Chain A
Amino acid sequence: DAKTTQPNSMESNEEEPVHLPCNHSTISGTDYIHWYRQLPSQGPEYVIHGLTSNVNNRMASLAIAEDRKSSTLILHRATLRDAAVYYCILNTGTASKLTFGTGTRLQVTL
Chain B
Amino acid sequence: AAGVIQSPRHLIKEKRETATLKCYPIPRHDTVYWYQQGPGQDPQFLISFYEKMQSDKGSIPDRFSAQQFSDYHSELNMSSLELGDSALYFCASSLGGGGPGGEQYFGPGTRLTVT
- Measured CB to CB, the residues of A under 8 A from B are 30-32, 34, 38, 42-46, 49, 51, 85, 87, 91-103
Contacts and interface: CB of A to CB of B under 8 A. Distances in A.
Nearest to A48: B103
Interface residues of B, number: 29
A96 B99 contact: yes
A95 B104 CA distance: 13
A31 B55 CA distance: 19
Contacts of A94: 99-100
B56 interface: yes
A43 B108 contact: yes
6 contacts: A44-B104, A44-B106, A96-B48, A98-B35, A98-B45, A100-B42
A53 B50 CA distance: 29
B97 A96 contact: yes
B88 to A, nearest CB: 8
The DSSP consensus for interface residues of chain A is loop
B56 to A, nearest CB: 5
B105 interface: yes
B33 A49 contact: no
Given A43-B108, A100-B42, 9 more contacts: A42-B109, A43-B4, A46-B105, A91-B99, A97-B45, A97-B58, A98-B35, A100-B43, A100-B44
Nearest to A97: B45
A96 B93 CA distance: 11
B60 to A, nearest CB: 11
B112 to A, nearest CB: 14
Interface string B32-56: 0101000000111100101000011
A31 B48 CA distance: 19
